[in-house]
Amino acid sequence: MVDTQHFCLRWNNYQSSITSAFENLRDDEDFVDVTLACDGKSLKAHRVVLSACSPYFRELLKSTPCKHPVIVLQDVAWTDLHALVEFIYHGEVNVHQRSLSSFLKTAEVLRVSGLTQQHGDGRDQLAQVQSMVRSQQQQQQQ
């Protein structure tokens, strides 16, 4: 006789546990595989997390064969980038009123889910960032 009974096993706090795990991985810089840079500063992150929250990063990172790309974001303020990454990992961030406009503009350019409406394909900006990533890769190889 064939056993046809199935059981549903559920991890009740799965979402909060996974979110917390990614936050801890980032805080400890475990398994980071991409560096974002602007204004002479940089921070490390995870491709999968950036890609899940930004179609812009997803398209860019899919087209980059480098194992640990350094993405230099020109015309992006460090405070905006840092706050956006906090938003991506935590789902919320506190932004000072004087920085809000710049923060939202950067979120729009990087197409960060939850902060912007997704429209347009951003290919011009993607091409610019891809060329910067390639030039960074060439500099690292020299």
Give the strands of the sheet with 34-38, arranged side by side.
41-45, 34-38, 70-72
- The answer as to whether 33 is a domain residue is yes
For the chain, how many structural domains are there in total?
A: 1
pLDDT in tens, 44-78: 999 999 999 999 999 999 998 899 999 999 999 99
Q: What is the CATH number of the domain that holds 61?
A: 3.30.710.10
Residue 47 domain-assigned (yes or no): yes
Handedness of CA 47, 49, 52, 55 (dihedral sign): negative
Does residue 86 have a pLDDT over 60? yes
Model pLDDT, residue 4: 85
Nearest residue to 58 (alpha-carbon basis) of 136, 131, 134, 126: 126
Q: Containing domain of residue 30, as a range?
A: 14-141
Residue 2 lies in a domain: no
What would the two tokens of residue 105 be?
């503009």
Q: Which DSSP category does 113 fall into? A: B
- pTM for the model stands at 0.76
Between 93 and 122, name the one with better pLDDT. Answer: 93
pLDDT at 34: 97
> Is residue 21 situated within a structural domain?
yes
